Amino acid sequence: MFKTTHVGGVDFEQINTNSNVTLKEIDVANLIKSKNTVIVLYEAEHKMDCYNFEDESKLLSMVITY
């Protein structure tokens, strides 16, 4: 799970870990292409994108909790 300040941002901060990991847009794109589950939160737009997430009910539950 990553967050960035706006759509089109180039830095993505990983938020589901205790370490400070920042990836570039190409790194996130590569994770998506390799079929990893990736969730990106765009804080300024209050928008979320989700890739390769199989359980829609679980995803909805996560969104409601967040």
pLDDT one digit per residue (tens) for the chain, 66 residues: 788 877 777 788 888 766 677 888 899 999 999 999 898 888 888 888 889 988 888 888 877 776
**Count of structural domains, the chain:** 1
Segments forming the whole domain that contains residue 25:
2-63
Q: Is 29 left (phi over 0), alpha (psi -120 to 50) or beta?
A: alpha
Residue 61: predicted pLDDT? 85
Q: What letter would DSSP give residue 41? A: E
* Triad 23, 18, 61: Cα angle to 5°: 85
Residue 66: predicted pLDDT? 64
Residue 30: predicted pLDDT? 94
> In this structure, are residues 53 and 40 in contact, taking their beta carbons and an 8 Å threshold?
no
